[in-house]
Amino acid sequence: MGPVARLGLALAVLAGLWVLAGVTLLEQTQARHEMRLADAIAATRALLGETQQALLREARLLASDPAVVEGVVKGDWATLARGASPRILSVTSDRIGDLLVITDASGAPLVQVPALPRLKTVEVVPPPVATTLVRAIGGQLYVLAAAPISRAGVAIVGRRFERLEQIAASVPSHPVVVAVAGDRLLATTRGDLPATGWVSATLRGALQVNGEDWIARPLSEREGLWTLVSSGDLHAERRRLLSWLVGSWAVVALVVVGVGLMSSRAQAWGRAHSRIGQEWARDREAFRALTRAMDGATDLSTGLGGALEAVRGLMGVTATVVYRLEARGGRLALVAQRGVPDERIEAFSSRPVDGTGLGDALRSGRIITIRAEDSAFGYRTQIAVPVHIREAPWGVLLLLSTDDRALAGDADRRLETVSLLFDAAVAQAALRTETEQKSRQLESLTRLAQTLTGTLALEEVLQRVVDAGVW
């Protein structure tokens, strides 16, 4: 599997893990929201229950007060006022209730606090036992507690519905309390709720107001009381969670990609370094073989032949040829070759200097590549490497290849090294030849001196001088 495939697999695995983590975290978020929702509903229901219990307590106390019972039975409001005045005043002064009404059996008010606006009748049927309910009295919606008075009337203590907003404000989720009757909205602690559509909202348990989602749960279905809790916190938390998941995945993905790229580059560098090391080792061995061939040769042609074989393997070419510049300087004569078939050697035995790539390379001192579209010998690429001795042109090393390709950068470097080695090898061979020639001359002169100092005749001395070749 390649590095790109491994990187893609790693990113896919990370994406899968992040999706699983996202699903788990979203479920936990939903569970926390459901818990907060349940806590908000329970807190609202408990506070509403405390309010209703306080109203019931006052209604029962009034219904059981002897003065109230006597006044209701007699239908005399003066008796009620004299006997129950302290209790009546405490209900409103202590802010337990906003409305107190005591009616007779027909629903006509005997006592009303506050006195205005004056009520003609109160549509509250005397209950068999003290109970709570939600009713509109005098055009105002109240949460009421009604207690029967000796089957002769009703004691009613009520609190205005909008005061329930204080209850909602004390709950952390700030729920909204609504009173509905069928499909109509009777009252609410929030002013921008729709007036209709509450049957479907209560059935679905959800409502949307001005683009904001609310969850509807019952507080008291008998009394038509419901509470609404906003889902905005849930949506905001989900958005934050999704943003965090996407952002964290992007960061981790970038880290993984960066590490993968660095690892791939490190591996590629290691492979390249290993390959370069192997190539350098091969080059060193080839250069050593070239040097050994020149050092171990008894003559220039043999040494150059071994060196050409090393160059041929090093450069990966088909054949190698060495030409030497003739004394007259007009042509290049073949000195040694490797890889040229026997039937083609005659064609490569001599080359002119003028008008050829070999001559251009020799004169310019640069390596020249010559390409032939249609070569008679099948060599499509010829590389001419000039060879110099003491900066004077000596000849040309010719590399022949059947491939139509340019040299790579490392091949160019090898050719430069080969050129320097050939320059040194040819110079060494020339020096060796010159040294051997001078040694032979010195030996001849030594024998001549011995002859001159001997007793030989003049004719014999002259003959030995001629044989020594020292003229």
178 vs 451: which has the higher pLDDT: 178
Whole-number pLDDT of residue 130: 87
pLDDT tens-digit series, residues 252-279: 778 777 776 777 776 667 666 666 556 5
Instruction: Assess contact for 321 and 312: CB atoms under 8 A.
Output: no
Domain 26-174 identical in fold to domain 293-423: yes
Q: How many CB atoms lie within 10 A of CB 190?
A: 15
> Which CATH architecture does the domain made up of 293-423 adopt?
2-Layer Sandwich (3.30)
User: Does 15 have pLDDT greater than 50?
Assistant: yes
Strands 140-149 and 153-160: antiparallel
Whole-number pLDDT of residue 471: 46
290 vs 327: which has the higher pLDDT: 327
Burial of 233: CB neighbours in 10 Å, binned 0-12, 13-18, 19+: middle
Distance CA 179, CA 26 (A): 33
Distance CA 38, CA 35 (A): 5
Distance CA 219, CA 87 (A): 30
DSSP string, 225-259: EEEEEESHHHHHHHHHHHHHHHHHHHHHHHHHHHH
**Sequence-distant contacts of 6-11: CB under 8 A, at least 24 apart:** 6/260, 7/256, 7/257, 7/260, 10/256, 10/260, 11/253, 11/256, 11/257
Domain ranges of the chain: 26-174, 293-423
Distance CA 301, CA 329 (A): 20
- Share above pLDDT 70 across residues of the chain, in percent, rounded to a whole number: 77
Q: Which of 62-66, 78-82, 412-416, 452-456 has the highest mean pLDDT?
A: 62-66
Distance CA 365, CA 203 (A): 98
Distance CA 217, CA 372 (A): 93
What does DSSP assign to residue 349?
Answer: S
Q: How big is the chain by its Cα radius of gyration, in Å?
A: 59
The fold adopted by the segment(s) 26-174 is Beta-Lactamase (3.30.450)
Q: How many CB atoms lie within 10 A of CB 37?
A: 20
Whole-number pLDDT of residue 38: 83
Whole-number pLDDT of residue 138: 80
Nearest to 219 by CA among 158, 155, 159, 143: 143
Q: What three-state secondary structure class fits 319?
A: strand
